Amino acid sequence: MKTVSTQSALVVAVKAARAAGKIMRDNWHRPKRVNSAEAHDIKLELDVRCQKLITKILHTAFPDISLLGEEGDSGDAKTEYRWVVDPIDGTVNYFFGMPHAGVSIALQRRKGKNYKTVLGVIYDPFTDELWTTTRGGKTKLNGRVVRVSKRGKPGEAVVAMGFSKSRENMEKSLPHLVRLARRTLKIRIMGSAALELAYVASGRLDLYVECTINLWDIAAGALMVENSGGECWTRPAPGGKLRMCADNGLLRKKLQLGSLLC
pLDDT digits (tens, 9 = 90+) for 210-237: 999 999 999 999 999 999 999 999 999 8
Output the pTM of the full model. Answer: 0.94
What was the pLDDT predicted at 247? 98
Same structural domain for residues 130 and 25?
yes
Domain boundary among 92, 127, 145: 145
What's the chain look like in SS3? CCCCCHHHHHHHHHHHHHHHHHHHHHCCCCCCCEEEECCCCEEEHHHHHHHHHHHHHHHHHCCCCEEEECCEEECCCCCCEEEEEEEEECHHHHHCCCCCCEEEEEEEEEECCEEEEEEEEEEECCCCEEEEEECCCCCEECCEECCCCCCCCHHHCEEEEECCCCHHHHHHHHHHHHHHHHHCCEEECCCCHHHHHHHHHCCCCCEEEEEEECHHHHHHHHHHHHHCCCEEEEEEEHHHEEEEEEECCCCCCCCCCHHHHC
Give domain status of residue 1, yes or no. no
pLDDT in tens, 111-144: 988 999 999 999 999 999 999 999 999 999 999 9
Are residues 127 and 196 part of one domain? no
The rounded mean pLDDT for the chain is: 93
**Same domain for 14 and 117:** yes
With cut-offs at 50, 70 and 90, classify the pLDDT of residue 259.
confident
- Are 74 and 184 part of one and the same domain? no
Distance, in Å, from the CA atom of 226 to the CA atom of 245, rounded to the nearest integer, reads: 12
Domain of residue 168 covers 154-261
Q: What is the pLDDT of residue 39?
A: 53
Do 21 and 132 have their domain in common? yes
Please write the tens of the pLDDT for every residue from 2-48: 899 999 999 999 999 999 999 999 999 888 888 766 656 677 889 99
Residues 28 and 139 in one domain: yes
Provide CB contacts within 8 A for 51, sequence distance 6+. 20, 69, 70, 71, 72, 85, 87
The per-residue pLDDT for 71 is 81
Which has the minimum average pLDDT: 41-55, 224-238, 242-256?
Answer: 41-55
Q: Are strands 186-188 and 158-162 parallel, antiparallel or unpaired?
A: parallel
Query: What sign does the dihedral 226-117-139-215 (CA atoms) show?
Result: negative
Residue 220 near residue 84, CB atoms below 8 Å: yes
Domain boundary among 128, 145, 162: 145
Could you tell me the CATH number of the domain that includes residue 76?
A: 3.30.540.10
Choose among 98, 147, 106: nearest CA to 123.
106
What CATH number did the domain enclosing 190 receive? 3.40.190.80
